[in-house]
Amino acid sequence: MYFCGIDEAGRGPLAGPLYIAGVILKAPIEGLGDSKKLSEKKRETLFEAICASSTYHIARFDATRIDELGISACLAQGLREIMAALGEAEYLYDGNSTFGVAGLRTMVKADAAVPEVSAASILAKVSRDREMVELSSHYPEYGFEGHKGYGSAAHIEAIRQHGYCGIHRKSFKLKALQPTLF
C-alpha cells in the first residue's frame, strides 16, 4: 500500500487561498523538511524535484469559498478530495485533527519528521506563495508579495488605509481593526 503525506498552507492568513497537498513519493528526495524552515530558493528547487518524483494532488480554496464554508469545512473537503484523487493509501496529515475525515491519521510536526508530509508542505507553500506574488500585481497597495496575506503590521495598516480587497477573507475578524468601546 502507498503512503501519502498531507499538509496545508494558508490556514491562518487574512487574505488569499488555502492550499492542501497530498504526496506519495516514488523515490527519496534529499533535503526535505518543514517548508517554513527552508529558504524560498530551496523550496522552489525541491518543488520541481517533488513534482518529478511523486504522485500528488493539490486542492485549492479561494477566500470566497473559505468565507462561505469556513476554514474547517474547506480543510475537510480538501482532505477528501486528495484521498479520492490519490486512491488507496495510508494517509498522514500534519496536525492534530482529522476534521471528521475517516481513514486519516494525524501527527503534530509531521512536516518536519516525515518526508512525504514535508514534500506536501513544500508543494502547498510554494503553490500558495506563487499565487500571492501573482495577486500582488493586481493589488499592489497591500504588499502581498512580502507578507503573503498574513497579518503583519504592514498588511493591517494597508487594510486600514484601503479597506478589504477581493482576496481578503471577510469572515476573519481582526481585533486590531475592530472599534474600541472606550
Segments of the chain scoring below 50 in pLDDT: 180-182
- What is the topology classification, in CATH, of domain 2-176? Nucleotidyltransferase; domain 5 (3.30.420)
pLDDT of residue 23: 98
pLDDT of residue 180: 47
pLDDT of residue 174: 72
pLDDT of residue 181: 47
Residue 66 C-alpha cell reads as: 473559505
Cα gap 26→133, rounded to integer Å: 30
Q: Which of 115, 112, 117 is nearest to 93 (CA)?
A: 117
Q: What is the pLDDT of residues 158-176, one digit of tens each?
A: 999 999 999 999 988 776 6
pLDDT of residue 172: 81
pTM for this prediction: 0.94
